[in-house]
Amino acid sequence: MSAKITDARFEQDNERILGDIRDRKPVLWLNDHHIPFKNLKGQLDVSVLDIKDAEARLKRFAPFIQTVFEDTKALDGLIESPISEISDFKSTLEDVYEFSFPGKFLLKRDDLLPIAGTIKARGAIYEVLHHAEALAFEEGLLNSYEDDYTQFASPAFQDFFKQYTVVVGTTGNLGISSGVMSAKIGFNVQVHMSHEAKQWKKDYLRSHGVQVFEHKTNFTEAVNKGRQAAETDPYAYFIDDEHSIQLFLGYTTAGSRVKQQLIDQDIVVDEDHPLMVYLPCGVGGSPGGVTYGLKQIYGDNVHCFFAQPTHVPSMLLGLISQKFAEISVYDFGIDGLTVMDGLAVPRTSQIVAELMQNIFNGGYTLTDEEANRMLSTLKDVEDIFVEPAATAGLVGPERLFNTEAGRKYLEAHDLTDKIDNMTHIAWATGGSMVPEDEQELFYQNGLKAK
């Protein structure tokens, strides 16, 4: 049985945490709306069957994917990343923050995902494929799920898809994932990018035939610009990072992939061997989908924490206030500026926030200085480069084991006698496609933060 903490106590904690958030101080928030997952089954809008349907669709497209993307051939068209242990980084993290935590510390290498080198490849590519398949069936180009999906690379299919346009609004990574796959299928592509978007991402998309629109505004407004553009074209399809259930479903498929990878490494996850996962969070779709997929497999034996910049804590604000997408970081006088550009989203996703309010376990914030320091440290001790946003999960164990709130969480969930058996996963969300000169700049900024 988990220890019961009174509603009054949570209200006091929330008021204090909202004050710290307003002051841009790092916080760890424990989700007071969390409900044991076993009590939620049958009440959720997304079912196990929905996830299995998504997994089956990706499997159907695998022959096409490996035909047109050389870097997917090793996994037979599967878009997946490895998990690696980062024991040297673990030791350094303990030294830097002067604490210790037992168990394995793993890095989920979505920075190495084929095609796009970012976690967005899971959701964005899936949504593009879902849309293309639906159009192909409507046109009669496909008649059965048993058809040969390598036909999507044929001139007949390509000519058909040239009639249609895919539109997306993004800070960068969602645009790369959806843009590259859409262009490969034959769609016309429009990507509306906010002011956080890096120049190299714009250049990369243009090199793949994608039309890029630059807006001197934030993520939310770039999404609105894309949505408005799509509404004027009956042949346009808008990938909506704020409201898309298909994006979410694409991310959920990570759950079964992680399960197999942990089995392959002889890592047990059960009531006595908890799994702790730390996920960088922007608008919420990717960490929300991954969490949902993991919870469907491990239930309450997996504990998922979302990590956000102190200057862009949009998901935390939405969930603590229960206003979800109706509240922005600007409403709290927070500027929304961060080196973690992939997380620079001032307002969370309404759909994902509502889905997550009873499911995810908590969230924390970190400073840009911490992100920079984690980036250079990971490079120094493990020879792994990730982009700044992808470092957010790396400080998760410190928040859990080295703060009063974290220790309360372990006690409340009867985990204190199980910490030796824990496995920790920090989710690296991107980085391998960052140009070398940009990597060096990020690295030098990290050295300055030490």
Q: Are 209 and 330 part of one and the same domain?
A: no
Q: Which of 228, 243, 258 is the last residue of a domain?
A: 243
Count the alpha carbons within 13 Å of 237 in the hemisphere toward its beta carbon.
Answer: 23
Q: Name 6's Cβ contacts closer than 8 Å, sequence gap at least 6.
A: none
285 to 22, 119, 355: CA distances (angstroms): 24, 10, 10
Query: What is the distance between the alpha carbons of residues 148 and 144, in angstroms, rounded to a whole number?
Result: 9
Torsional sign, CA 125, 118, 238, 357: positive
Structure tokens at 44: 């959720």
Tell me the pLDDT band of 150, cut-offs 50, 70 and 90: very high
Q: Taking a C-beta distance cutoff of 8 angstroms, is the pair 345, 391 a contact?
A: no
SS3 content of the chain, % helix, strand, coil (to 5): 55, 15, 30
89 and 14 together in one domain = yes
Q: Do 225 and 252 have their domain in common?
A: no
Domain stops at, among 223, 243, 263: 243
- Residue 1 within a domain: no
CATH number of the domain that 290 lies in?
Answer: 3.40.50.1100
- The chain-wide mean pLDDT, for the chain, equals 93
Reported confidence tier of residue 279, pLDDT bands at 50, 70, 90: very high
Domain end position, chosen among 243, 263, 281: 243
Q: Sorting pLDDT into bands at 50, 70 and 90, what band is 171?
A: confident
Q: Write the pLDDT tens digit of every residue in 18-67.
A: 999 999 999 999 999 999 999 997 788 899 999 999 999 999 999 999 99
* DSSP code string of 32-79: TT---GGGTTTS-SS-HHHHHHHHHHHHHHHHHHHHH-GGGGGGTT--
26 lies in some domain: yes
141 and 157, same domain (yes or no): yes
Instruction: Quote the number of domains for the chain.
Output: 2
Q: What is the pLDDT of residues 79-123, one digit of tens each?
A: 999 999 999 999 999 999 999 999 999 999 999 999 999 999 999
- Dig out the tokens for 67 from the structure: 């035909």
Residues 415 and 291 in one domain: yes
pLDDT above 70: residue 418: yes
What element of type H or E holds 220? helix 219-231
Sorted by sequence, the CB contacts under 8 Å of residue 358 that are 6+ apart come out as 33, 34, 35, 40
Report the candidate in 235, 238, 239, 229 with the shortest Cα–Cα distance to residue 163: 235
Distance of CA 365 to the CA centre of its chain: 15
Model's pTM, two decimal places? 0.94
* pLDDT above 50: residue 291: yes
Same domain, 320 and 186: no
Reported as a pLDDT band with limits 50, 70 and 90, residue 11 is low
Contact 157, 186 (CB under 8 A): yes
- The answer to whether residues 257 and 222 belong to one domain is no
> Do residues 311 and 416 both lie within one domain?
yes
Residue 133 lies in domain? 120-243
